[in-house]
Structures are given as structure tokens and as C-alpha cells.
Amino acid sequence: MVKTISIVTTMDTKGQEASYVAELIRCRGHCPLLVDVSPRGPLTVKADYPREVVAKAAGVSLPALLSRRRDEIMAEMGRGAGEVLKSLLAQGKLDGVMGLGGNQGTAIAAIALQALPFGLPKLIVSTVASGNIRPYIGHKDIVMLFSVADFLGGPNTVSRMILTNATGALLGMIENGVPFASAGGSRVVAITALGNTDGAVTVARELLVAKGYEVIVFHASGASGSAMEELITQGMIQSVLDLTTHELLGEIFGDDIYAPTSGRRLEAAGVTGIPQVVGTGGLEYFCFGPPETIPLKYQGRLTHYHNPYNTNVRATPEELERVGQVLAQKLNGAQGPVTVLVPLRGWTYIGSPGGILYDPGGNALFLQALKANLSPQVELIELDTTLNDPSYAQVAVERLAQMMSKL
């Protein structure tokens, strides 16, 4: 079956590379569509969707857009390209997307690709793919491939190899991939996890599977939690065992490398009204990179050196007090049943008795703030155990199963 693949790039500078990829696609019996996101400059290739069409899709004329600041122009071209791609997808005319770019083209293509749903194959070949790519990927399933050589003057010995391999990878996903379901079954449960809450997550997962639920585990690394929130909104998930709410700390204070990419953790379940059991896993510490990357204001605190690329720093009682307030505010507006399950003896391996980040005073201030701000409609259960004790997971699963049985 013939597939349609869009190539998103700046056709004024990357047109020859786009043409090369388009010919590879044609040779495999598929149909390429060129989307031009270059705001200005003489074109080297004619696009199926010219820059004027892309700008219009963003709700602005190209001449008006060119009078704006450079970063705003790129953002609008990215948004317009995203609208073009979503329209093609809605018409059944899009099976995959490739973005090509240097710094500017990557930024524009990434904005466009982030607008697309999970499961649709999407790949960007980029000169900046060897650096921090989280801003470009966000929480979407976008493949980033380092171009090695720059895209300048047309394909060469290096870029032909990279572009050919990239096209093969994308076509492999398109020809052999599994379509993504728009909604899950009636018994899909999401669980959030970190290595330091693995004990609770593992037991809870096993108990849920034994009860006949499909369990999807999301690593509380910022992007994964944000992806979970979007999947909840899409109807893919019917209940949440949010044991590891670490990302909320980064959302509030901003320095944590695991801050959610969406900036809206612990909200989708409440808005959609699905049952949720909420824990405190990982809320007691910030995550940073190597020790030398710890911001000055966090230095000198209790610190756990998790691995060479991840360092955990204890949050202060005052910071946890704020977390308790915000958590209560988020859960108070939930349209469905909510239970908050607080283990009184520790929230992670390293934050429990004997752990390097153990500080019961800070945890107590969090709980005090939570109680002071939590609506009576939200159930609060305190357990005299650690989060990773099997009994904690058992209570969490039973409470969630009770909620699910009433739906």
C-alpha cells in the first residue's frame, strides 16, 4: 500500500536534501510531500505546501509574519506546519513525517511534530541532535538523529549516508509499525515510577495484573509524566496509581531536570474524572545532573549520588510545605474519586529511615500543609509504613480497585 510521508524543512537552504529524501521515498513506492517552513530566502525546490500556506495555517499572512521578531516567526511557522500536518492526518493522507534542519529548521520542525499524536512515525535529522534535545522532543515519541555533517550545498558523502539511513528507519516504522489506539480498554491503569520507588511500583503492578488490569508504567522523568497526562486526556487510561509524584516538585520550583514538559502534572485525571490514588514518591528531593551541575542555592544540603549523571538533593521543609499546598489545590478540583496515600515513615528508599535523605521533619510539614488545604471530598489515608513496604502497595491497589468497581 502506498504511504504518504511529509518532509518538513526550510526549502531555501535544505531543498536539495529534501529532494534527495523524496526520491528515496519514491523509489520505495511511496509518496513524499514537501512542506516548506522557510520564512524567506530564494527557494531551491518547489514545495507541495509553500511557506505562504504554512503561515496562513498559523492564522497569519506571510508578509505580516515577517515583520515580527525572529523567534516568533519560527514559532508561528512551526505551529502552521503542525496545522498542515494535522489536517493531512485527519484526511488520511499522512503516514509519517521527517524533519530536516540546522538550528532554525530543527526548532520549526520540532514544534510541528510535537503537535502530532503518539504512534505516528516522526523523525528529525538535525545538526543539533547531539546536545540537549528535550526542548525539541518534549514528551512526544520523536526520533532524533544527529546529521554528523551540516546540510549545506546539497547531499555529500556523509549526509547521503545519514539521510539514506534515516529514510530507511522512518519507512521501517511506517511499513511495519503498529497503529496507535485512540483509546484504551476499560481496565487500563497508569502507574508512575522512579528507581527509588521501585519496590512499591513492582508490587502494585503485580497485584493489578493479577486482578486483570493492563498496567502501563511511566517513569517520573518529566517527559514521561507529561505523556501520561496527555494519554489520560485522550481516553487511553481509565485510572491512575500516581505513586511517584516527584515531577510536581520541578513544576513548582523549576530547577529540577525532571520538571514536567507540559507544566500541568496531576491535572488530567481530575479533569476527566477517572479514579486516582496519589502517593508521595520522590517528592522529598530534587533531581540534577552530575554533582557539578547542582545550582548554588541547592548545594550544602543532604545529597544522594544516584549515578554519574543523576544527583538527588533533599528539599527543605519550607519547599515541601509549598508542595503540600499545591498538591491539595490540584486535587481539590477533581471531578472523580481521589485518595491521597501518605506513608509516614518515608517516601523512597533514600528518604526512609537509614537513607541519606531521611528527614521526617520536612515530611511532617508537607503533611501539615496538605491537611490544611485539602478538600474534605478528597480522601486522605496515612499509613505507618514506608512507601516501598509491600503493605503500602497493597492498600493503594485495593483502594483503586474499589474506585474502579463503582464505575
Which residues in the chain are classed under CATH 3.40.50.12030?
188-405
pLDDT digits (tens, 9 = 90+) for 371-403: 999 999 999 999 999 999 999 999 999 999 999
Identity of the residue numbered 14: K
pLDDT of residue 131: 79
CATH (residue range 4-176): 3.40.50.12020
Q: Please give the grid coordinates belonging to residue 336.
A: 472523580
Whether the CB-CB separation of 255 and 319 falls below 8 Å is answered with: no
Grid cell, residue 7, equals 518532509
Q: Which residues, in sequence order, are CB contacts of 304 under 8 Å at separation 6+?
A: 285, 311, 312, 313, 350, 355, 356, 357
- Report pLDDT for 183: 61
**Nearest-CA neighbor of 286 among 261, 259, 317?**
259
Tens-of-pLDDT digits for all 407 residues of the chain? 899 999 999 999 999 999 999 999 999 999 999 999 999 888 888 999 999 999 999 999 999 999 999 999 999 999 999 999 999 999 999 999 999 999 999 999 999 999 999 999 999 999 999 878 888 999 999 999 999 999 988 999 999 999 999 999 999 999 998 877 666 666 899 999 999 999 999 999 999 999 999 999 999 999 999 999 999 999 999 999 999 999 999 999 989 999 988 778 999 999 999 999 999 999 999 999 999 999 999 999 999 999 999 999 999 999 999 999 999 999 999 999 999 999 999 999 999 999 999 999 999 999 999 999 999 999 999 999 999 999 999 999 999 999 998 87
pLDDT in tens, 167-196: 999 999 999 988 776 666 668 999 999 999
- The answer to whether 239 and 190 have CB atoms below 8 angstroms apart is yes
Q: What residue type is assigned to position 258 of the chain?
A: Y
Please list the residue range(s) of the chain that carry CATH number 3.40.50.12020: 4-176
279 closest CA partner among 250, 245, 249, 247: 245
- Overall pTM > 0.85: yes
- Does residue 48 contact residue 182 with C-beta atoms inside 8 Å? no
* Cα atoms in the Cβ-side hemisphere of radius 13 Å centred on 58: 26
Neighbours of 311 (CB within 10 A): 22
Counting DSSP H helices and E strands in the chain, the numbers are: 14, 14
Q: Pairing state of beta strands 310-314 and 303-307?
A: antiparallel
Residue with grid cell 515530611, as numbered in its chain: 363
What CATH fold (topology level) applies to the domain 188-405?
Rossmann fold (3.40.50)
